[in-house]
Every structure is written in C-alpha cells, then in structure tokens.
Amino acid sequence: MADDVADLRREELFAQIAEAGFPCVGAKSALARGTLKVIVGHSLESAWDDVHIHSELLEWAKGWRADPEGLRSLAVVYDTPTDLTEEQFEAALWERLQSLTDKDQWRGQTYDHRVSSDPSDPHFSLSFGGEAFFVVGLHPGASRPARRFRHPTLVFNLHEQFEHLREQGRYEKMRKTILDRDVKLAGSINPMLSRYGETSEARQYSGRQVGEDWTCPFHDKRSDSAPE
C-alpha cells in the first residue's frame, strides 16, 4: 500500500469520527488523545495483511498493560472491497477474525482468562496477546448510519478499558450518550446493542441485525485443549 493512499485512508476515518453527528464519543476521545491508531490493509477478503495486523494487536495489548489509562482503539482500514452486502461483510469480517485468532494460537498466546472463547457465551470476547478485544465493523453497505464508512474497517477495542470505566462509574453515562446520539442520527435505537454479559457481543461485531437463530462462524482452537 502506497504511503499516500494509506495517509488518505487515515484522514478519511479521522474526518468521519470528527464529524459533529458521529455518535461514538469513545472514538472521539481516542482521536483527540492521539490514541486511535490506523493500519491500512489491501482487502478484507484476503489474508495478505494478517500477520502484520496480528503483530500490531500484540503490541497494542502490550502497550495497554504498560499504561492502562484512557480510551484507545486500533482501526484496520481495508482498501477493498467497497461493494459488499451486509451478509458478505459479516462473512469476510469473521474470516479475518478467525485468521487473526489462529495466528494468536500459533504464536503461543494464551486466551484472556477473564472472558470466554465461546462465541455463544454472553461473556465472549476475542483475545490477542492475552488481552480481550471486541470489534466494531464499518463498511459502505451498513444499514445503521453509524456503521457506514467508505472502506471496510475493523476497529479493535480493548475490553478491559471499559471495565475500568465501570469501576470509575463513567461507563453508563458514556453508553447513554452514545445511544442518544445514535438515535438522533438513525432515528431509532440499534436493536443489536446490549451490555456485556447479557448476550454474546459477537452478535454486534458486523453491525448487521441478526436473529435469535444466528450462529457465529468462529472457533478458537485453544478451547479444544482446555481442561474439563
């Protein structure tokens, strides 16, 4: 990826988050603090950049443990494809997350014991470098305005930073602000949103509204060797 194209993709994402109507105040905070890092990849449907992205996730987890303060996000903006339906984006998203998880296992990383590796479990989260992450997917074909962006994007957020907000009594206020802003933008509340521990967060990653019979196409190999 040429440097000028990568710079453009970063500027596009930063500009969208900075827009007055963008609902996620957590992303706005990370942008203002300079703790929103953007990596640019070739294609969401290709494993070409997966090793590099996984290495960045390991460094992100390491950096959090060294300085667990504030909000931070790691966004991967893919140049293509830009014409995916919601179902196609969801499938490609989980292909990438499965590949990245396989690399975490291959590199000998342990799953964060504070969360579940079972995507049907209400306490599920992804784990990279021993730290739990959840993902927010953005793409041009998203039905929710807050999830639309001109290029397919995966935003990785550290789970523990929101646990810190809960401990500080700040999480519910921030959540309400985001929900209110999202309703103002979309005209309705996002039916897929729920608190951690109520339903599996895997249902929220792609941004597509899914039914009760939805099955997550993800499996962590480390769970096969877990003790009974």
- Tell me phi and psi for residue 119, to 5 degrees: -65, -10
Residue 198 belongs to what domain range? 3-211+219-223
| Pairing verdict, β 73-80 and 36-43 | parallel
What number of residues does the chain have?
A: 228
With respect to residue 35, please indicate whether it lies within any of the assigned structural domains: yes
Largest Cα–Cα separation, the chain:
51
Q: Is residue 201 one of the residues assigned to a domain?
A: yes
The pLDDT assigned to 44 comes to: 98
pLDDT at 225: 56
Q: Per-residue confidence of the chain (228 residues) as pLDDT tens digits?
A: 667 888 999 999 999 999 999 999 999 999 999 999 999 999 999 999 999 999 999 999 999 888 888 889 999 999 999 999 999 999 999 999 999 999 999 999 999 999 999 999 999 999 999 999 999 999 999 999 999 999 999 999 999 988 888 888 888 898 899 989 999 999 998 888 787 888 999 999 999 999 999 999 999 999 875 444
The count of structural domains within the chain is 1
Residue 113 lies in a domain: yes
Q: Is residue 68 part of a domain?
A: yes
- Residue 189 maps to a domain: yes
Q: Model-level pTM greater than 0.75?
A: yes
- Residue 228 domain-assigned (yes or no): no
- In the chain the first and final C-alpha atoms are separated, in Å, by 46
CB of 165 closer than 8 Å to CB of 92 = no
SS (H, E, C) the chain: CCHHHHHHHHHHHHHHHHCCCCCCHHHHHHHHHCCEEEEEEEECCCCCCHHHHHHHHHHHHHHHHHCCCCCCEEEEEEEECCCCCHHHHHHHHHHHHHHHHHHHHHCCCCCCCCCECCCCCCCECEEECCEEEEEEEECCCCCCHHHCCCCCEEEEEEHHHHHHHHHCCCHHHHHHHHHHHHHHHHCCCCCCCCCECCECHHHHCCCCCCCCCCCCCCCCHHHHHCCC
Residue 188 counted as domain residue: yes
Closest among 154, 144, 133 to 196, alpha carbons compared: 133
